[in-house]
Chain A
């Protein structure tokens, strides 16, 4: 465990930025967002960024390859290049967990090299949540916001930042920061952790639980009559999927630049009717079916394929952003039996 006094945060950031591009949450007119650190940029105090941190590894749009066409001939141009090292500071426990969930999709055989490239070059510095919000329910999914994972975990007290390396990557970076940080005992961060734990226990969603969901619950939940009421007002806007740190569905499209073709991928949403539309029909015609797919995937299908791991981290972004105030918590309460009622 190392520590640095808060008035030296700029020194910490400039030291990290010497060896790699550093991103951290900064305040904007539209809430906190990750930005490249440069002298004068201040770490946001907001609990979390409006958009999740998945962009770092799975960006909203990215080029997959280029094509040159001449007459009947096609040339495929591999545009991949080795990603530069980067560091993301201030990632919350929920978003850190989302990377594990995305890893199981993109790093499963056959490996998605675009994702893997970024993943290997990124160092995650997490930060414990001093003031978890009433929309937080990470605890439901076994995440402890007082003990975030990542390559380095940090805790911010009134006057200092404690840093603890969790991986080899993290140890390497932290040892490079030895000159500007000072040694600290693990016990020094304990009061802060205890304070956070106490706050987490008092959150309104602290009791939300998952026993009604998970591996093998397809048949009893798929045909539940509750989907009708739950999905009735859904506008199919897809906002939930875009702010979600674990939503990973994507589209692949071609763009003709006039001087060749770029094939890119971009985030897509199972909430859109186009998502499954084929030339000969669509297997999810109603918003009920699309709505159900999103939640069944997170709460049943994904866990079935991934040792019971749920594809939700309880970050609460969908609660904040849904224009009709529908969200996974309401779904879980309605379908989770009396205990969640």
Chain B
């Protein structure tokens, strides 16, 4: 009985690289002490990271499953656990367990479709996994558009990767925007929902949204205005979690547990949930 694996018990992970993305976002590379990935995952799934004595929290896995060497987590500093993670140095051990939740239907509903990714701020973190998965299996998907906005230039996560890799891929169009004018910025200025409407996409695509709730709300409305149906739009949700396996009760909304039945929901499924997220 006690030889059985328990979902609460993590394994040790080592932080082998820390990249500073923005003033409050860092990307951490994690492997097991023997240099392997802690577990395999699907795009959109999450993992519980913890520092014993500080706490444990759920994070989306930012790296693509096609990365065979390590996992990455882009994490914004905003609470106790994340502050501690931000103060870490390379070589620090943490604990990791997962993967948790469902995933984006990259091998079913998305196959053969044009993809439109729309992210705001740290909302790019969960989408990076899907974007890089789609880039890896490029011929399985149609055109890829990525609309990404942040408060300022400095707040764009993964900027280097976006400019040096994503923008150079054939059939991938990246549309960046920032909220307010900046002297060094020559790109688009304005909020994501308006920019999406200005860009005026054709409606034969799958759209994936992630960002602050207010951005999601207005972007979804904008997409519907230009003719998207809610069944074409996916998003990923975040609520407080403790167990990660649908038992502790914390992320329960309606009959769903975001940790286990989500975090990925199609927008028509979100509509069926009671309005408290």
Q: Show the binding face of A for B, using Cβ within 8 Å.
A: 64-65, 67, 69, 72-76, 78, 80-83, 105-106, 108, 110-114, 116-117, 120, 218-219, 222, 248-254, 256, 261, 263, 265, 268, 270, 275-280, 283-284, 289, 293, 296-297, 300-301, 304-305
Contacts and interface: CB of A to CB of B under 8 A. Distances in A.
B277 A105 contact: no
A275 B250 contact: yes
A252 B242 contact: yes
Contacts of B11: 76
16 contacts: A67-B53, A72-B92, A74-B52, A75-B12, A78-B9, A82-B2, A106-B247, A111-B7, A219-B274, A250-B249, A252-B56, A254-B50, A265-B8, A279-B80, A284-B276, A301-B255
Contact of B248 (A81, A117, A268): A268
Name the interface size band of chain B: 35 or more
A272 to B, nearest CB: 11
B242 A110 contact: no
Contact of A254 (B4, B54, B93, B94): B54
A297 B252 contact: yes
Contacts of B242: 250-252
Given A112-B7, A250-B248, A278-B240, A76 B12 contact: yes
Contacts of A65: 8-9
B258 to A, nearest CB: 10
Given A105-B247, A268-B248, A222 B7 contact: no
Contacts of A248: 247, 249
Which of the listed residues B78, B94, B247 has the most CB atoms from chain A within 10 Å of its own CB? B247
Contact of A80 (B6, B80, B92, B248): B6
The secondary-structure label for the interface of chain B is loop
Contact of A293 (B78, B82, B91, B252): B252
Contacts, number: 137
Contacts of B89: 72
Contact of B6 (A114, A276, A296): A114
Nearest to B80: A279
Contact of B247 (A73, A78, A112, A289): A112
Nearest to B261: A305
A180 B109 CA distance: 67
A120 B4 CA distance: 14
A114 B94 CA distance: 23
Nearest to B273: A218
B171 interface: no
A218 B1 CA distance: 38
Contacts of B95: 67, 74, 76
Contacts of B240: 275-278
Given A82-B2, A218-B274, 15 more contacts: A72-B93, A74-B12, A74-B93, A114-B8, A116-B1, A218-B254, A248-B247, A250-B247, A251-B248, A252-B243, A275-B250, A280-B78, A293-B276, A296-B274, A297-B249
